[in-house]
Amino acid sequence: MRIFRVNVERRFSDLDMLQHINNVVYNDYLQEGRIRMMRKLREDFAEPYFPQVLVRQEINYRKTLVLGPAPLVVEAWISSVGRTSYEVGLRILDDDGSLAADAISIMVCFDPDTQKPVPIPADYRAALVAAMEGD
């Protein structure tokens, strides 16, 4: 399993009135991890952009995050690959390496005309399987 790691900087505006990073913003960090993993996968496999959409997300909040100058780390990996959908595993780590949240995102490929699910494009599917099985 190949793990994609990206640094994400905290912003003052990520805080809520409790002086914590708001729970909604964790989802923004997950989005950064997911999008940058996909960008990397497409770069490696020369797959052009195609329509896909997030259909389900589960997140466990493990730790309160506060503002600080050191970036967070978001880890993302491919945890399973189906015919029209695949699952992304995600973790948010604080700058001391402690777990702040774990999550899964389920992505579905679709036809923009019919809005129905379609098979994952073959090249991208191969890249997803390679990322799932590789190291």
CB atoms within 10 A of CB 38: 20
Which residue carries 């494009």 as its tokens? 121
Q: Under 8 Å CB-to-CB from 47, ≥6 apart: which residues?
A: 41, 121, 123, 124, 127
Binding of its own copies at residue 9 (CB under 8 A)? Answer: yes
Applying CB under 8 A, does 54 fall inside the site for its own copies? yes
**Measured at the alpha carbon of residue 7, what is the angle toward residues 1 and 76, in degrees to the nearest 5?**
25
Binders of its own copies among residues 90 to 119 (CB under 8 A) are none
CA distance 107 to 88: 8
Out of 1, 55, 70, 99, which residue is the one contacting its own copies (CB under 8 A)?
55
CA 23 to chain CA centroid, Å, is 16
Pick the piece of the chain touching its own copies (CB under 8 A) from 22-30, 80-88, 89-97, 117-125.
Answer: 22-30
Per rule CB under 8 A, is residue 61 in the interface with its own copies? yes
Nearer to its own copies, 44 or 58 (CB): 58
Report the residue from 31, 42, 45, 123 that binds its own copies according to the rule CB under 8 A.
31
Alpha carbons 15 and 126: distance in angstroms, whole number: 39
CA-based radius of gyration for the chain? 16
In the complex, minimum distance from the CB of residue 61 to its own copies, in angstroms, rounded to a whole number: 5
Name the segment binding its own copies (CB under 8 A); options: 53-61, 79-87, 92-100, 118-126: 53-61
Q: Which spans of this chain sit near its own copies (rule: CB under 8 A)? A: 7-9, 11-13, 15-19, 22-24, 27-28, 31-32, 35-36, 39, 53-61, 64, 67, 69
